[in-house]
Amino acid sequence: MNAPGIPVFYGALDEDTCVAEARAPVGSHVVVAKFEVLRPLQLLDFDSLTKIYVERSHFDPTYALHVGRASFLRRLVREMSRPIMPGEEAFEYLVTQIVAEYLAHKVKPRLDGIIFRSSQTDGAGRNVVLFNHACGVKPYDLPREAVLTFSELPKGTKLTFFSHLGDEDDADYAVRDIVVSETVPPDTSDKVSPVKTPESFSDILDISPFMPKWDEEDIEPPAYRDPTLRLDVESVVVLDIKGVQYNSKRRKVRRHRSTKGKA
């Protein structure tokens, strides 16, 4: 849904769909977590577009136009959920990227993202995409409520990782739990003048020449600094991928032989 260099948020409504969309191979590890939504979001559910129908007479001069639009929207839904083979993304994603850019900037009231069926789960799961202006994640706060930027921890913070192994006699012998210990230095803000930390890259680097130009008739430019999501740190888990299952449709192969040029 996004062109190179324009970040968006990709998520799903359930854990299995997230793993399937990541196409995790057997033997790999997938980190899964929940995100809390910090403000109401305006999302377009693509399933609703499949229910559009035309209530007009066949003799209406605009009937063909409206039927064509309804047919286009239904086809668009299929394109959004169509599986793309690895290596074909650069060309095959052009259509969905253009549509996503249009929905993000030209629709009123403004859309924050879309919901659509997951091709990797045969349509059983739902994917969620939050556009660039609505994909900000609030930085993780340490216990002393230190404001983090650029995923940096306060100077002097020590992280320790512990792995709890299962029983050696267990056939599924592996790491059972992962514990992260954070040792934060004492708060000395009342003794040392705090150093202003930039809130974003735009505070230390002028990126205005690279930002999109907005016309007066366009929707107001997005507030890139406003976070939309917060990571639920307590929900983070690591999945060991042990196997993959496939849904398939069987098609028979028929053979026919003829003799070419027989007198």
Per-residue pLDDT reduced to its tens digit, 251-262: 999 998 888 776
Put simply, whether the predicted model's pTM sits higher than 0.75 gets the answer no
Indicate if 63 and 128 belong to the same structural domain.
Answer: yes
Between 189 and 75, the more confident residue is 75
Question: How many whole angstroms separate alpha carbon 55 and alpha carbon 183?
Answer: 65
198 close to 204: Cβ distance less than 8 angstroms: yes
Do residues 116 and 50 both lie within one domain? Answer: yes
- Same domain? 235 vs 190: no
Verify that 59 and 43 share a domain, yes or no. yes
Residue 149 and residue 140: Cα distance in Å, rounded?
9
Is residue 33 predicted with pLDDT exceeding 50? Answer: yes
Does residue 101 share a domain with residue 18?
yes
| pLDDT confidence tier of residue 76, bands split at 50, 70 and 90 | confident
Give strand pairing partners of 12.
127
Residue 56 in any domain: the answer is: yes
| 117 and 16 within one domain | yes
Residues 73, 197 share a domain: no
Domain span holding position 97 = 1-136+224-240
Could you tell me if residue 76 is inside a domain? Answer: yes
Helices 94-106 & 63-80 angle (0-180, nearest 10): 110
The residue among 231, 10, 241 whose CA lies nearest residue 134 is: 10
Residues 57 and 98 grouped into a single domain: yes
Give 115's pLDDT tier (boundaries 50, 70, 90): very high
User: What pLDDT score was predicted for residue 145?
Assistant: 42
Q: Does residue 248 belong to any structural domain of this protein?
A: no
Mean pLDDT of 68-88: 77
Has residue 15 got a pLDDT over 90?
yes
Q: Is 213 inside a domain boundary?
A: no
Residues 127 and 149 in one domain: no
Over residues 153-182, the pLDDT tens digits come to: 667 777 787 776 666 556 555 566 777 777
Q: Are 156 and 30 contained in the same domain?
A: no
In a domain, 193, yes or no: yes
Domain assignment present for residue 63? The answer is: yes
Q: Does residue 95 register a pLDDT over 80?
A: no
Residue 44 lies in a domain: yes
Question: Is the residue at 168 inside a domain?
Answer: yes
Residue 65 sits in the same domain as residue 35: yes
Residue 151 has a pLDDT of: 47
Q: What band does 146 get if pLDDT is binned at 50, 70 and 90?
A: very low
Q: What is the structure's pLDDT at 148? A: 44
Residues 1 and 86 reside in one and the same domain: yes
Q: How many domains does the chain have?
A: 2
